[in-house]
């Protein structure tokens, strides 16, 4: 199967003024001159009305490029940086194409949208709900953590559009009676690279085998590697359109100001306190390497520092994750402590700062973390990653991936915060237990980091690392070799 641009082969060039323009003009010029109102008479007017209500008047580049082939029902692979507007890029044609089918209520499920995380599925569902305010298409969200009985009631009604995570959807396809997908028109695989990284290959393969072969398939991904191409070969017809709007010069968006700060491991907590204190009126996301680290830092800052903090990680209940996500999305300022469960695809408005307190597993994850800010047209944001002096080589590694960081200076963090933390751990048994779990999980993540030449456990002073969790004396570590230089 050839993966190539196929725009010049479109037969129905009269889909819209926007579609016609794509064959005659430079893409950048098209985007600058395009607006959704150009689709009047070609796309259902109710969709255009809701786009205006939602504040969208001009398409982003990925939207301008993929709307014409998707409105024609073509299979498509879309590659674009995070924050580029991919959700509306597939929702607009999905809704418009289904409206053209007529009486949908009696015909069962016509579109399935797969997302790698519950949060991204929830976000997609929320955008879809806004788009369908005055449109009589049924839709539902099917994700893990919710009661299956509620799912079954929705599915038996024959909802037109399902937004789901792969595991829960496959479960229903295999076991739920009267779940009718025989007339499915469209399958959307959102964040396909993350779907594969999260281990959903078998689930997606199982889903595809149970769906009708005659359908439109749409695949969006931040990166197109060999694994994504293999998934495309499995899911798609022979000649999909490939649209890539990646910038060859940088891997992150132009409105992002990003840098790194060299901080000794024992001063990390004090630095974070200072950073958050300076950002009280801003919206900040802080990424940690483990769920236990999120819990420990959340408890310290929320309860003992009286800071406005929310948290999200994969071991929380679905209800708590949903509440935290909505609260942070709607907030004008505040802080979200999270793991990489919040790194992919989430469109949270007006995030001012991305703080990578713990290092990402690879450059892709770095890019997705910082992609939570500077999203959409002409938006700006800031990002900083905290590194030990021994880890500065990571900056050169990122440059090979077309990610360029400045070196930041923040000034010395306050010593009194460290003293407060150490007193708390010495006198509070609950917090001491939480701190120990967080410390050990931090070491486990560090020990198994893929970039071992840069993030080398043997160069990490365990006693100093323990101080960042409030310990005056290093807790016992039983999963490192006794001759490990870091433990001496």
Phi, psi of 425 (to 5 degrees): -65, -35
Sheet containing strand 111-114, edge to edge, reads 139-142, 161-164, 111-114, 186-189, 216-221, 76-79, 241-244
Mean pLDDT of the chain: 87
Q: What does the domain layout of the chain look like in residue ranges? A: 7-244, 256-487
User: pLDDT tens digits, residue range 289-298?
Assistant: 999 999 999 9
Which architecture, in CATH terms, is 7-244?
3-Layer(aba) Sandwich (3.40)
For residues 137 and 160, is the Cβ–Cβ distance under 8 A? yes
Q: What is the pLDDT of residue 349?
A: 81
User: pLDDT tens digits, residue range 259-279?
Assistant: 999 999 999 999 999 999 999
How far, in Å, are 102, 275, 283, 351 from residue 279 at the CA level?
51, 6, 7, 11
Residue 96 has pLDDT above 70, yes or no: yes
Residue 367 has pLDDT above 80, yes or no: yes
User: pLDDT tens digits, residue range 396-439?
Assistant: 999 988 899 999 998 888 888 999 999 999 999 999 999 999 99
| CA neighbours closer than 13 Å in the CB half-sphere of residue 337 | 26
- Residue 100 burial class via C-beta count within 10 angstroms: exposed 0-12, middle 13-18, buried 19 and up: exposed
Q: What is the pLDDT of residue 225?
A: 86
Same fold, 7-244 and 256-487: yes
Q: How confident is the model at residue 482 (pLDDT cuts 50, 70, 90)?
A: low
Residue 332 has pLDDT above 70, yes or no: yes
Mean pLDDT throughout 224-228? Answer: 88
Rounded Cα–Cα distance for residues 218 and 18 (Å): 20
For residues 51 and 206, is the Cβ–Cβ distance under 8 A? no
Residue 170: in which H helix or E strand, if any? helix 166-175
Of the candidates 289, 333, 328, 330, the one whose C-alpha atom is nearest the C-alpha of residue 311 is: 328
For residues 89 and 220, is the Cβ–Cβ distance under 8 A? yes
Tokens found for residue 111: 């579109």
User: pLDDT tens digits, residue range 60-88?
Assistant: 889 999 999 999 999 999 998 777 789 99
Query: Is the whole-model pTM more than 0.75?
Result: no
Q: What is the pLDDT of residue 318?
A: 85
User: pLDDT tens digits, residue range 344-356?
Assistant: 667 788 899 999 9
Handedness of CA 201, 204, 210, 214 (dihedral sign): negative
Residues 323, 317, 219: CA angle, nearest 5 degrees: 80
- Residue 314 burial class via C-beta count within 10 angstroms: exposed 0-12, middle 13-18, buried 19 and up: middle
For residues 438 and 403, is the Cβ–Cβ distance under 8 A? no
- Domain 256-487: which CATH number of 3.30.390.10, 3.50.50.60, 3.65.10.10, 3.40.50.300: 3.40.50.300
For residues 383 and 257, is the Cβ–Cβ distance under 8 A? yes
Rounded Cα–Cα distance for residues 189 and 235 (Å): 9
Mean pLDDT throughout 215-237? Answer: 91
Who contacts 337 (Cβ-Cβ below 8 Å, separation ≥6)? Answer: 286, 288, 294, 297, 298, 301, 309, 310, 311, 312
């Amino acid at each position: 199967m050839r993966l190539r641009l196929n725009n010049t082969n479109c037969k129905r060039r009269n889909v819209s003024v926007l579609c016609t323009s794509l064959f005659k003009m430079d893409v950048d010029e098209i985007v600058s001159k395009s607006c959704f109102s150009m689709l009047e008479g070609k796309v259902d007017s109710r969709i255009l009305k809701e786009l205006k209500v939602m504040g969208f008047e001009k398409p982003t580049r990925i939207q301008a490029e993929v709307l014409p082939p998707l409105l024609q029902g073509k299979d498509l692979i879309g590659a674009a940086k995070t924050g580029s507007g991919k959700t509306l890029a597939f929702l607009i044609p999905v809704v418009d194409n289904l409206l053209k089918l007529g009486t949908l209520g009696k015909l069962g499920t016509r579109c399935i949208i797969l997302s790698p995380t519950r949060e991204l599925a929830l976000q997609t569902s929320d955008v879809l709900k806004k788009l369908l305010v005055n449109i009589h298409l049924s839709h539902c969200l099917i994700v893990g953590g919710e009661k299956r009985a509620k799912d079954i009631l929705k599915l038996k009604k024959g909802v037109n559009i399902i937004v789901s995570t792969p595991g829960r959807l496959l479960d229903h396809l295999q076991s739920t009676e009267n779940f009718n997908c025989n007339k499915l028109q469209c399958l959307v695989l959102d964040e396909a690279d993350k779907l594969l990284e999260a281990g959903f290959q078998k689930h997606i393969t199982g889903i595809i085998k149970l769906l009708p072969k005659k359908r439109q398939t749409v695949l969006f991904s931040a990166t197109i590697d060999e694994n994504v191409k293999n998934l495309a070969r499995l899911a798609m017809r022979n000649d999909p359109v490939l649209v890539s709007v990646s910038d060859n010069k940088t891997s992150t968006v132009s409105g992002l100001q990003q840098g790194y700060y060299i901080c000794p491991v024992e001063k990390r907590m004090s630095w974070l306190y200072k950073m958050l204190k300076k950002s009280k009126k801003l919206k900040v996301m802080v990424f940690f390497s483990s769920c236990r680290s999120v819990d420990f830092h959340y408890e310290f800052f929320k309860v003992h520092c009286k800071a406005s903090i929310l948290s999200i990680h994969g071991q929380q209940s679905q209800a708590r994750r949903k509440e935290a996500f909505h609260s942070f999305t709607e907030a004008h300022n505040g802080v979200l402590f999270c793991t990489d469960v919040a790194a992919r695809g989430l469109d949270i408005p007006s995030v001012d700062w991305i703080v990578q307190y713990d290092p990402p597993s690879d450059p892709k994850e770095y890019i997705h973390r910082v992609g939570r800010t500077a999203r959409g047209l002409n938006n700006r944001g800031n990002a900083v990653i905290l590194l030990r002096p021994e880890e500065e080589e990571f900056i050169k590694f990122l440059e090979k991936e077309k990610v360029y960081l400045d070196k930041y200076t923040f000034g010395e963090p306050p010593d009194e915060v460290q003293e407060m933390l150490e007193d708390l751990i010495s006198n509070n048994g609950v917090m001491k237990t939480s701190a120990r779990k967080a410390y050990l999980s931090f070491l486990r993540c560090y020990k198994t980091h893929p970039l071992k030449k840069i993030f080398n456990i043997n160069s990490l002073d365990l006693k100093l690392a323990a101080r960042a969790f409030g310990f005056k004396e290093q807790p016992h570590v039983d999963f490192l070799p006794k001759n490990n230089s870091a433990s001496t």
